[in-house]
Amino acid sequence: MTYFINNGYDIHGMPKLPMPDVETYIIYTGKSIPRILSSGKLETDSEGRQILSLNKEFFGGEAGKPELTAKVLYVKNSDGIIEEYIRFSQVFDEQRVKFRDEPDKVYPEVFRICEAEGILTEYLSTHKADTSSHLMSEANLVRLYA
C-alpha cells in the first residue's frame, strides 16, 4: 500500500495499478538441507539459486491454483551478510537447545560465539542491546511453548 501512495497512484480511482517487480526469498537457517533442496528437481536462477514454486509443490502445477515462487537461500548458496545471518540463527538455535532451562544464558553465549567466529560483528557492536532483548523474549517464548 505504501508503494502506491508514495508513487502518487489513486488506489481507489484507477482500475488497475502498475505493480513493481517482486522477488521473494526464503532464508533457510537449518543445518541439514531438506530433501526438496537436495533432490535436484527445482529450477534454478542465473546465480544457481533454487526456485521453490508453491503451485508446483503443493498443487501439482494445476492452473488456477495459488502461485508464488521464491528463491531459497541457505548456507551453501549464500554469501556476505545473508550467510552471517544464517550462521547467527544456527548459533542461536544451538544455544537455545543447550540452555533450554536457563534462557538468560542463551544470548550472552550467542554473542560470545559470534564474536569469536566473526559473525555479524559490525551489526552486533551497535545493536547488541536490541538484539539481546529480542533474543531473551524468543528464548522465553520457545521455552514456554516447547
Residue 5 lies in a domain: no
Residue 42: domain span: 19-77
Say if residue 141's pLDDT is above 60: no
Pick from 103, 107, 98: which is nearest to 130 by CA?
107
Residue 39 lies in a domain: yes
Mean pLDDT of the chain: 85
Say if residue 144's pLDDT is above 50: no
User: Same domain for 37 and 63?
Assistant: yes
User: Same domain for 59 and 85?
Assistant: no
User: Same domain for 138 and 93?
Assistant: yes
DSSP string, 43-103: EE-TTS-EEEEHHHHHHTT-TTS---EEEEE-GGG--HHHHHHHHHHHHHHHHHHHTTT-G
Q: State pLDDT tens for residues 30-44.
A: 888 888 888 888 888
Site of grid cell 498443487: 59
User: Same domain for 69 and 119?
Assistant: no
User: Same domain for 87 and 137?
Assistant: yes
- Quick one: pLDDT band at residue 142, thresholds 50, 70, 90? low
User: Same domain for 54 and 109?
Assistant: no
User: Same domain for 60 and 100?
Assistant: no
Residue 7 lies in a domain: no
Q: Which residues contact 74 (CB under 8 A, 6 or more apart)?
A: 27, 28, 29, 30, 33, 37, 86
Q: State pLDDT tens for residues 79-132.
A: 788 889 999 999 998 998 999 888 788 888 999 999 999 999 999 989 888 887
Total domains present in the chain: 2
Q: Using an 8 Å Cβ cutoff, are 87 and 119 in contact?
A: yes
User: Same domain for 60 and 84?
Assistant: no
Pick from 29, 24, 122: which is nearest to 75 by CA?
29
Higher pLDDT, 143 or 8: 8
User: Same domain for 116 and 85?
Assistant: yes
- Quick one: pLDDT band at residue 25, thresholds 50, 70, 90? very high
Return the pLDDT at 138.
61
